[in-house]
Amino acid sequence: MKKRVVIAIDGPAGSGKSTIARLVAKKLKILYVDSGAIYRAYTLQYLREGIKLEDQKALSAFLERLTINLENEKTSTQVFVNGENVSREIRSSEVTASVSSISENTSIRDRVTRKLRIETEHNSVVMDGRDIGTVVFPDAELKIFLTASIDERARRRKKELKSPGVETDFGKIKNDIQRRDKHDSERNLAPLQKPDAAILLDTTNLTIDECVDFIVKKAIGLEKSV
């Protein structure tokens, strides 16, 4: 891409965001950032340290001393907290159960939003999450909102989760997803919602390649129209 372009991909859990966003970035040869992985890393460390959201002083000190880095590999993002690789731990059921309520905190959200903006300011980027097209990059050149039926999303998540300590019962996964969607959509701060200008893409009956090609074509069209 010749000029800096931001592609924001938002949507509920299991809608295919990360897989699709990563492949779009690869095809366009631009950066990919998984914002959910950052919220998960904060949540993991928060739980480990037993911080309380109500204790503003302890929370600020916690946020100050935490360094989170993402490193993209071919098919995955490696996540580091203070140099420790926590890529597996951030997918545990404990983190998944708490991430929605912890990422609702203003101090945490402000910090993550700032980090996402600063670290990508000189690059074209594909970023996926819940509030990328609404809050992080409201001026993104291309906004996509991915959805899929709840059963399809639970099926995909079950397939994805094969590590020890991770919930793999279909009914439980489906409930967890529904609970998290509800929490993410109903919170006051940066709720999950389709940004006004976003293209809605229902991925229930689409292959990954079909979704990726659709978004890549839109992105290339964007460049031609400038």
Q: Which residues bind ligand CDP (CB under 6 A)?
A: 13-14, 18, 35-36, 39-40, 99-100, 103, 129-132, 180, 184
Smallest gap from residue 186 Cβ to ligand CDP (A): 11
Q: How far is CA 92 from CA 98, 164, 184, in A?
A: 10, 8, 19
Smallest gap from residue 122 Cβ to ligand CDP (A): 21
Which residues in 110-121 are b (16+ Cβ under 10 Å) and which e?
Answer: ebbbeebeeebe
Beta bridge partners of 10: 129, 145
Q: Which is nearer to ligand CDP, 29 or 121 (CB)?
A: 121
Smallest gap from residue 68 Cβ to ligand CDP (A): 13
Smallest gap from residue 116 Cβ to ligand CDP (A): 8
Q: Within a 10 A sphere around the Cβ of 189, how many other Cβ atoms? A: 13
Which amino acid is it at 97? A
Q: Which residue is nearest to ligand CDP (CB)?
A: 36
How far is it, in rounded angstroms, from Cα 187 to Cα 201? 23
Smallest gap from residue 34 Cβ to ligand CDP (A): 7
Do 134 and 144 form a contact (C-beta atoms < 8 A)?
no
Smallest gap from residue 169 Cβ to ligand CDP (A): 16
Q: What is the dihedral of CA 45, 48, 52, 56, to 10 degrees?
A: -40
Q: Which two tokens stand for residue 162?
A: 């094969």
> How does DSSP classify residue 198?
P
